[in-house]
């Protein structure tokens, strides 16, 4: 390791210079003892060199592991199919997750659970989920403050709404998250802990 060798070489030069200095009076015995105690032996320098080498190996391994993790993440993202609409990109997650885990997955690929701005976007989303199985897809709407529905990506209070008749009703006092029903495109509030498919919205596609 060139860096380690340079450090050790510099220490050797420093030690030699101190040993050979002519400015130390023979009467300054106490100072001489302190300096001799401070100057490392060759064995100590060798140990120091080995520790530096080991430290370099550990740092290299950590960066290597990080690079492997990033490559794995890039490979996983590349396998996902994104759909484009009106300048935005959407990922339809087919694995079933809780609302919070779905939001976390969306963030890992650079987005959030979808924010639906108008009826046209809602219709487009429905057309891409129709026939994809029973149930619904989590969207980015929630009301952790009861009755105050907000979008998770920007915390904006919902303006466009497409709730099914009689919804939201907060049945059982525990329905704080919202999903889009694939067959109708209408929304329903639902317990956040339940597992559903989900829709991510990104500002860029892979």
Predicted local distance difference test score (pLDDT) of residue 27: 47
Domain that holds residue 112: 83-202
Among 56, 78, 100, the domain-final residue is 78
Q: How many domains does the chain have?
A: 2
Let me know whether 24 and 93 are in one domain. no
CB of 190 within 8 A of CB of 173? Answer: no
What pLDDT, in 10s, does the model give residues 147-189?
Answer: 899 999 999 999 999 999 989 988 777 899 999 998 899 999 9
Instruction: Output the domain CATH number for residue 188.
Output: 3.10.100.10
Rg of the chain over Cα atoms, rounded to whole angstroms, equals: 32
All residues at 6 or more sequence positions from 124 whose CB lies less than 8 Å from its CB, including other chains: 85, 86
Between 63 and 27, whose confidence is greater?
Answer: 63
Predicted local distance difference test score (pLDDT) of residue 196: 95
Predicted local distance difference test score (pLDDT) of residue 103: 96
Percent of the chain with pLDDT strictly greater than 90 = 41
Decide: pTM greater than 0.85: no
β-strand partners of 190? 177
CB of 131 within 8 A of CB of 178? Answer: no
What pLDDT, in 10s, does the model give residues 86-143?
Answer: 889 999 998 999 999 999 999 988 899 999 999 999 999 999 886 655 679 999 999 9
> What is the C-alpha to C-alpha distance for residues 106 and 111, in angstroms, rounded to an integer?
5
Among 60, 78, 96, the domain-final residue is 78
| Alpha-helix residue ranges (DSSP H) falling in the chain | 2-20, 29-38, 42-78, 99-108, 119-129
């Amino acid at each position: 390791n060139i860096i380690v060798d340079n450090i050790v070489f510099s220490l050797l030069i420093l030690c030699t210079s101190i040993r050979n200095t002519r400015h130390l009076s023979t009467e300054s015995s106490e100072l001489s003892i302190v300096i001799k105690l401070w100057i490392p032996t060759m064995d100590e320098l060798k140990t120091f060199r080995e520790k530096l080498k080991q430290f370099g190996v550990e740092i290299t391994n950590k960066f290597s592991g990080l690079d492997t993790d990033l490559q794995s993440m890039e490979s996983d993202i590349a396998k996902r199919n994104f759909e484009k609409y009106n300048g935005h990109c959407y990922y339809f997650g087919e694995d079933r997750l809780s609302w919070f885990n779905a939001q976390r997955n969306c963030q890992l690929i650079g987005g959030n659970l979808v924010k639906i701005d108008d009826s046209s976007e809602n219709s487009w989303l429905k057309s891409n989920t129709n026939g994809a199985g029973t149930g619904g897809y989590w969207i980015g709407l929630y009301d952790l403050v009861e009755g105050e529905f907000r979008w998770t990506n920007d915390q904006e209070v919902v303006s466009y709404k497409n709730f099914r008749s009689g919804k939201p009703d907060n049945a059982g006092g525990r329905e704080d998250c919202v999903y889009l029903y694939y067959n109708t495109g209408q929304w329903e509030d639902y317990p956040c802990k339940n597992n559903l498919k989900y829709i991510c919205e990104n500002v860029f596609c892979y």
